[in-house]
Amino acid sequence: MKPLLTIEASYLESLGIVDWGYTRELKAQSFKNFSHWIKDHHETLPYLGTQQSIYNRENIQHWFKEAQSALVFLFDYTPAKKESAEFPKVAGYALGFDGLDYHDVLSPKLHEIATHLGLENYKLSLDTQPILERDLALRAGLGWFGKNSMLIHPKHGSYFIIAGIILSRPLAIEDARIEIDHCGHCTACIEACPTQAIHSDTRTLIADKCISTWTIEDRREDTPAIPGYEASRGEIFGCDICQDVCPWNRKPLERVVGFLSERAQFWREWYHQPASTIYEAIQSLSGRALQRFMQGTPFMRPGKKTLLRVLNYWLKRDPTNGSHTPHN
C-alpha cells in the first residue's frame, strides 16, 4: 500500500486498512442503477427508499454541501474469515473487528486519520450515511462491482468494510484509475446462492431473497423463510456464501494469518452451540438483559424477535437436538 500524504503505509496497516483511494468525483456513476433497483426494494429496507435518501445518494454534495473530495479506506476482516472457515454460520464481519460493531470500532480510526491530515471540516461515510459506498470505492479506484454486487479489490478480494472521509477541500493526490471488471465468464456466486438472490443481468441482489436481509434486517416476527434457505450452510446471522465461493477471495485467504480476539472467539463458540441452546438462552433473557449481554456487538442489530425467528426455523426442522445442519 502507498503512503497517504504524510501518513506512512505501516501506520494505515496498523489500523487494519489494506488499501485506500481518493476521488474528486462526487456524483455516483451507478445512480441510475440504484434508482431502478430501489423501486422494488422498500419493504424490508424502508430507510433506503425515502425521497431524501434517494436524492442524497445521487451526489455527495446533496448531503454535505461543502464536499469537494473523498478518501476511501478498506478495513479488512479476512483474518477472521480464515479462522472461522469451518464455522460459516455467522458473517465474517461480525467476528472481524474484535467481535464488536464495526461502526464503533472504525469511526475513531477515521477521526484519527483526519487529525493526522489536519482536517477540520469533514464527514465520515461508514455504512449508515446516504452514500453509495461501493460506487464511491469504485470511483476511488479500489475495485469493481462483482456479479455478487460486492466491491472486489484485485489483490484483497471482498472481505472488507468500506469507509470514507468526505472532505471540504481537494487534496494533492492524483485522481484514481477506475478498475476494470475481472469477473469474466465466472458465475460461481450466482450458482452458489441458495436462495437465488443474485440478479444475474443487473449485478444487483433481490434484497428480499438475501439471507442477510432475512437474518439481520427483517424485524418482522413471522416473515416466512426464503425458499432455498434450507439449502444454506445454516447461516443464522448474515451470509457470506457468495463471497466464500468467489475466486478473488482465495489468494487473500491464503496470504493472511488467521486471528480472532478473545471476545470474537467467545462469540464464535457461543454461536457454535446447538440452535436449541442459543434459542433458550436468548428467550430466557429480558429485552434489556439481552441488550446488556450483546452490547457493542453486531448481534444486537437484528433484535430478539429476529434472532428467535431464525433459530426457530432450524429447531422446527430438527426438534431433537436443534442442530443447524442443513437438510437438503
Q: Are the C-beta atoms of residues 123 and 166 closer than 8 Å to each other?
A: yes
Considering only residues 187 to 226 of the shown chain, the ones binding ligand SF4 according to CB under 6 A are 187-189, 193, 195, 197-198, 205, 210-212
Judged by CB under 6 A, which of 23, 69, 158, 276 binds ligand B12?
158
Determine which residue in the list 58, 83, 135, 244 makes contact with ligand B12, applying CB under 6 A. 135
Q: What CA–CA distance (Å, rounded) separates 281 from 259?
A: 27
160 sits near ligand B12 (criterion: CB under 6 A)? yes
44 — phi, psi (to 5°)? -90, -15
204 binds, among ligand B12, ligand SF4, none (CB under 5 to 8 A by kind): ligand B12
Per DSSP bridges, beta strands 160-167 and 122-125 are antiparallel
Residues 202-231 that bind ligand B12 (CB under 6 A): 202-205, 207, 210, 212-213, 217
Listed residue (210, 222, 74) closest to 134, CA to CA? 74
Catalytic residue, chosen from 40, 127, 135, 240, is: 127
% helix, strand, coil for the chain, step of 5 = 40, 15, 45
Active site residue 127: yes
Question: Least separation, in Å, of the C-beta of 275 and ligand B12?
Answer: 19
The alpha carbons of the chain give a radius of gyration, in whole angstroms, of 20
Which of 271, 249, 257 is closest to 88 using CA atoms?
Answer: 271
From the list ligand B12, ligand SF4, none, pick the one residue 151 interacts with, judged by a Cβ distance below 5 to 8 Å according to partner type. Answer: ligand B12
Alpha carbons 205 and 197: distance in angstroms, whole number: 6
Q: Is 67 in the site for ligand SF4 (CB under 6 A)?
A: no
Per CB under 6 A, 244 contacts ligand B12: no
Taking the least distance from each CB to ligand SF4, the nearer of 117 and 178 is 178
Residue 75 near residue 106, CB atoms below 8 Å: yes
Query: Would you give the binding string for ligand SF4 spanning residues 220-259, x where CB under 6 A is met?
Result: -------------------x-xx--xxxx-----------
Reading phi first (left if > 0) and then psi (alpha if -120 to 50, else beta), residue 118 is in: left
Residue among 231, 233, 248 at smallest CA distance from 85: 233
Q: Which of 69, 78, 148, 215 binds ligand SF4 (CB under 6 A)?
A: 148
CB count in 10 Å sphere of residue 307: 23
Positions marked catalytic: 127
Q: Under the rule (CB under 6 A), what is the footprint of ligand SF4? A: 146-148, 183, 186-189, 193, 195, 197-198, 205, 210-212, 239, 241-242, 245-248
Q: Under the rule (CB under 6 A), what is the footprint of ligand B12? A: 28, 30, 33-34, 37, 45, 48, 91, 93, 127, 131-135, 145, 148-151, 158, 160-162, 202-205, 207, 210, 212-213, 217, 238-240, 242
